[in-house]
Amino acid sequence: MSNTRALIARWHDDAGGTYRSWSLWEQRLKNFRSIRSGIREVVAEIAADTFGYSGIVRLLDLSFGAPATIARELFIVAPDDREPEVRAQVQRPAFRGVGDLRVRYLPYGELERHRESMARFGEGLKGIQSVSRVLC
């Protein structure tokens, strides 16, 4: 039990971590409503077989509305074979703001191949960064 408490204390004390930047953030409840609404839309798009990286629009909306400590690095997690399509989407003029963010593409296959070692040995974003690729 002491390992769990130490882990929670470390998470709580991390100035750039989610507890300080998200849990204590005033706009959190407003964003929870937005995220819930966005998830409903994504589920409906998946059910209708029309889903596809409007997820990028949602990602930008969330990142531009979040404190800088939250949006320091963003990942688009998608099927391995969709990388060319994702790259084409973020090159569109409507997504010029993506260049201001550190957006990376994380293929499902890389995540699946390395998830156990990242969970076991990883700390922070280093493991995820090593198997993802910068989009812009």
Contact 43, 54 (CB under 8 A): no
CB of 65 closer than 8 Å to CB of 31: yes
pLDDT for 135 equals: 83
Cβ-based neighbours of 55, under 8 Å, separated by 6 or more = 42, 76
pLDDT of residue 54: 58
Question: What pLDDT sits at residue 125?
Answer: 79
CA distance 113 to 115: 6
Q: Collapsing DSSP states into helix, strand and coil, what is residue 104?
A: strand
Edge-first strand order for the sheet with 74-78 is: 74-78, 103-107, 133-134
Show the low-confidence residues of the chain (pLDDT under 50). none
